[in-house]
Structure 1
Amino acid sequence: EGNQQLERLSRSSADLWNSICKWYWRTVDRQDQWLSKTAMRRWHCKGHDVLPSQTAQEVAEQFYEAVGSWHDNDRKGNPPKRSDKTYNVLRWTYQGVTLRDDGVLRLSTKRGDDSILIDWPAREEPRTVEIGKTSGGFVVRAQYDTEPVDRTTGNKVAGIDLGEKHLAAVFTGGDAFTVNGGELRALRHYQNSLKAKLNAKIDRKERGSNRWNKLVETKQEQLDHIDNKITDLLHKLSRKTVEMLLERGVSAVAIGDVRGIRDRIDYGKKMNQRLHQWAYGEFARMIEYKAKLAGITVERVDEAYTSQECP
C-alpha cells in the first residue's frame, strides 16, 4: 500500500514537471519573457490536487535549478525540457518532515491522505528528504545540516585538472596522482548499448500498446539503475580524492572549470558522445563540497580553450 501511494505521488510529480516545463517555454515563446519561480508556484503548485504543497513547490524548485544551471552555462547545450519519465523525484523540506519519538520519520501528504511513515535509523531529524523510483523499488535520501570540520594538516596548494580518461589529475607541487575514469567509461558504454538495444525493441512495437508501455518502463528502470551506480561511483572517487589531498597536507585547491568545452569542440560523433556524457560537473561539485567540509579552500579556475591546445 505504501509503494502504491509513492507511485501515485511520483507519477503526479512527473506530470507536474512536464506541465511546468510546457508553460514555462510557452510563455517564453508567446510573451518573450521568463516566468518567475514565484509566479509558476502560484499558478501550478499551490493547491495541487495530489501532491502536498511543499512537495509540489519543490518540483518547481527542481525545474528552476535546471534552468539556472543552463543559464550559468551561457545557455549552451540543451535546456530543461519535457521528460518521458514515468516517475519524478519527490522532495520534502524540513516543514514537511517530522521525526517522531518512536523513531519513525513522518512525511506530510495532502489532507485526507495517509502520511508516509519510514522507520528511521538516525536519531536526528533530516533537513530534506528525497524519494526516487529505481528498478528495485523506492530509494530514500536525506540531507542533514553539517558544519565544516577543519581536517587539514598542512598548507600545500593543489591543482585539479578534470579529464575524460582520468577523471582528475592532481598536482600538489612535489607530488601528483590521478583518479582513473575507466569504471565510469565502462558504465557509460554499457548504458549506451543498453539504451540502443531497448530503443530498437521499442521502435518495433505499436506506440501506446501494452508491450510498448512495458518496454518503455523497463528501459527507464534499467537506465535509472545504471545512473544510481554512476552516482555512487562518483561519490566514492570524489571522497577518495579529498582523502588523498588531506594525506598530502593540502589546504587549498584550484579546480579547472571546463564548462562549455563540449559545445566549443568537435572531435567526431563517437568522441563527442563521450564528452557529452563526461561527468565533470557532478564530479567537480562532489569534490568541492567534500573538500569544503574537510576545511579545504576551493577555487574554480577558467580553462576556456586550453584543451584545444593540449587535448
Structure 2
Amino acid sequence: MQTGRVRVPLAVTAKQEAILARLGRDVKQGATKLYEKRGRWYLALSVTLSAEEKAAKSARDKIAGIDMGLRYLAVVNAGGETLFFPGDQAASVRRRYHALRRRMGKAKAIKAIRQMKDKEARWMKDQDHKISRAIVDWCLARGVGIIRMEKLEGIRRRKTRKRDFGRSLHSWSFYRFQQFIAYKARLVGIRVEWVNPKDTSRTCPRCGHCASENRSGIRFRCRKCGFRGHADAVSAWNVSFAISGLAEAA
C-alpha cells in the first residue's frame, strides 16, 4: 500500500490552465474541495480574480432590459427581440428538495437536512451563474452596450395563480442573480443601469398608454392602440426604455 503524498495529473481546460498559472500574482486562491462523482474524482477550487471593467465599445448601441419574476426567472428584451428563462424547472427542483427535507424532518435526520440545504443552495448559485452568463453572451452577440435592470423591491410579493409554484421560488436570491449579471456584463464592456420598475408591466411600448387593464396574466393588450404581446416581454422592453426613469447607474 502506498503511503505519503501522491501526485496525480490534473485535467483542466485552456481557460482554467491560464487562471492557475496566475495563482499567487493577480489571482487569489480560496477554498478547495476534493470529491468523487460517478467513479471520477474532481477538485473544486475557488479563486478570486480582479474584475477590471473593459471600456464599452461605441459600436454597441442597443439597450437591453431585463424583467425578473417568479413565473420567469428572467425575460430579456433587446430592440423587440426576446429571450425567456422559464422558472418552472427551477420551481420543480425546489419543490423536490422541499419534499425531501419534510421526509427527513419526520425521520429526525437533522444532519441530512443541513446537507440537503447546502446542496440546494449550491444548485441555486450555479443556476444564477449559468443563466447570467447566457444573458450576457446573448446581449453581447446582439450588440448591446447597456443592460438595464429593475431596482427590485418586493418581487416575492407578486401574486401567481399557482400558489405552490410561487412558493417554490419564494426564496430565490434575485439580488444575487442581478449582481452576477452586472459583473459579467461589466467584464465584457457592457454598461449596467438600474431603473424604476413603476408601470413597466402595464404600459404599452408602442404608444405609451398606461392602464392596469392592459395586462391580464401573461397576456398584454393595449386598450388604446391594440398592441399585443407577452406581458413579461413587454415589461422587459419597457425596462430597456427606462419609462419611469433611472434609479441609478453603475
User: Of the candidates 22, 30, 33, which is equivalent to residue 129 of structure 1?
Assistant: 30
Measure the CA separation in 2 of the matches of 1:261 and 1:188: 18
1:135 touches 1:222 (CA, 8 Å); kept in 2? no
- TM-fit CA distance, 1:251: 0.1
Measure the CA separation in 1 of the matches of 2:196 and 2:178: 13
Corresponding pairs, count: 180
| Structure 2: tracts of 5 or more residues without a match | 1-18, 203-211, 218-250
User: Of the candidates 49, 54, 57, which is equivalent to residue 149 of structure 1?
Assistant: 54
Say if 1:180 and 1:271 are closer, same or farther in 2 by CA, change over 3 A: closer
Measure the CA separation in 1 of the matches of 2:49 and 2:61: 29
TM-score, length basis structure 1: 0.49
Q: Which residue of 2 aligns with 1:247?
A: 141
User: Of the candidates 178, 183, 197, which is equivalent to residue 103 of structure 2?
Assistant: 197
| Structure 1: tracts of 5 or more residues without a match | 1-119, 203-214
- TM-fit CA distance, 1:268: 8.6
Matches of residues 1-311 of structure 1 in structure 2 within 5 Å?
A: 121-125=20-24, 126-127=27-28, 129-130=30-31, 140-150=45-55, 152=57, 153-202=59-108, 215-263=109-157, 270=164, 273-303=167-197, 309=212, 310=215
1:129 touches 1:140 (CA, 8 Å); kept in 2? yes
1:169 touches 1:177 (CA, 8 Å); kept in 2? yes
Letter of the structure 2 residue corresponding to residue 273 of structure 1: R
Say if 1:266 and 1:246 are closer, same or farther in 2 by CA, change over 3 A: closer
Higher RCO structure (Cα 8 Å, ≥6 apart): 2
Measure the CA separation in 1 of the matches of 2:134 and 2:162: 33
Q: Which residue of 1 aligns with 2:231?
A: none
TM-score, length basis structure 2: 0.60
- TM-fit CA distance, 1:156: 0.6
- TM-fit CA distance, 1:146: 2.9
1:158 touches 1:170 (CA, 8 Å); kept in 2? yes
1:134 touches 1:225 (CA, 8 Å); kept in 2? no
Say if 1:143 and 1:275 are closer, same or farther in 2 by CA, change over 3 A: same
2:71 touches 2:160 (CA, 8 Å); kept in 1? no
Deviations 1:64-112 (A, max 9, x none): xxxxxxxxxxxxxxxxxxxxxxxxxxxxxxxxxxxxxxxxxxxxxxxxx
1:253 touches 1:299 (CA, 8 Å); kept in 2? yes
Letter of the structure 1 residue corresponding to residue 63 of structure 2: V
Structure 2 counterpart SS, 1:168: strand
Deviations 1:159-213 (A, max 9, x none): 11112222211111242221233332222121211121111211xxxxxxxxxxx
Higher relative helix content: 1
1:235 touches 1:286 (CA, 8 Å); kept in 2? yes
